[in-house]
Amino acid sequence: MKKTLWILTVLAFAVPMAVQASCETVKADISKKIINNGVPESGFTLDIVPNDQSAQSGGQVVGHCENDTQKIVYKRTGSESETQVPADAGTTHDSPAQ
């Protein structure tokens, strides 16, 4: 009987840790995919938020975890000037007529 109680106690503490690790694992996998698509690691953030807060997070939902109770939200970082193409980046054929 004591052995069964001990096993149940260990499981009660291990399951919540495994669920959290699952969210971190999903987040890490998504991060790798974004970096492999050419986005620098400093160019984005991924946040784990509860479902009811995902709309207010200001980013794009790119994944979910913990039995769909948490969402992983992608946000691009950096100033606007870093994400826009400079006016002199194209050729003279690309520039507007004057």
C-alpha 79, offset from chain centre: 19
pLDDT tens digits along 42-69 = 999 999 999 999 888 889 999 999 888 9
At residue 79, the pLDDT reads 54
Host domain of residue 52: 2-81
CB atoms within 10 A of CB 54: 18
The segments of the chain whose pLDDT lies below 70 read 1-21, 79-98
Q: How many residues does the chain have?
A: 98
Determine, yes or no, domain membership for 6: yes
Residue 97 domain-assigned?
Answer: no
Of all helices (H) and strands (E), which one includes residue 74?
strand 70-76
Domain assignment present for residue 49? The answer is: yes
| Assigned domain for 26 exists | yes
Q: Is residue 95 part of a domain?
A: no
The reply to whether 89 falls in a domain is: no
Tell me whether residue 53 is in a domain: yes
Number of domains in the chain: 1
Name residues whose C-beta falls within 8 Å of residue 20's C-beta, 6 or more positions apart in sequence.
Answer: 66
pTM above 0.95, yes or no: no
- For residue 47, the surrounding DSSP H or E stretch is strand 44-50
- The answer to the question of residue 90 being in a domain is no
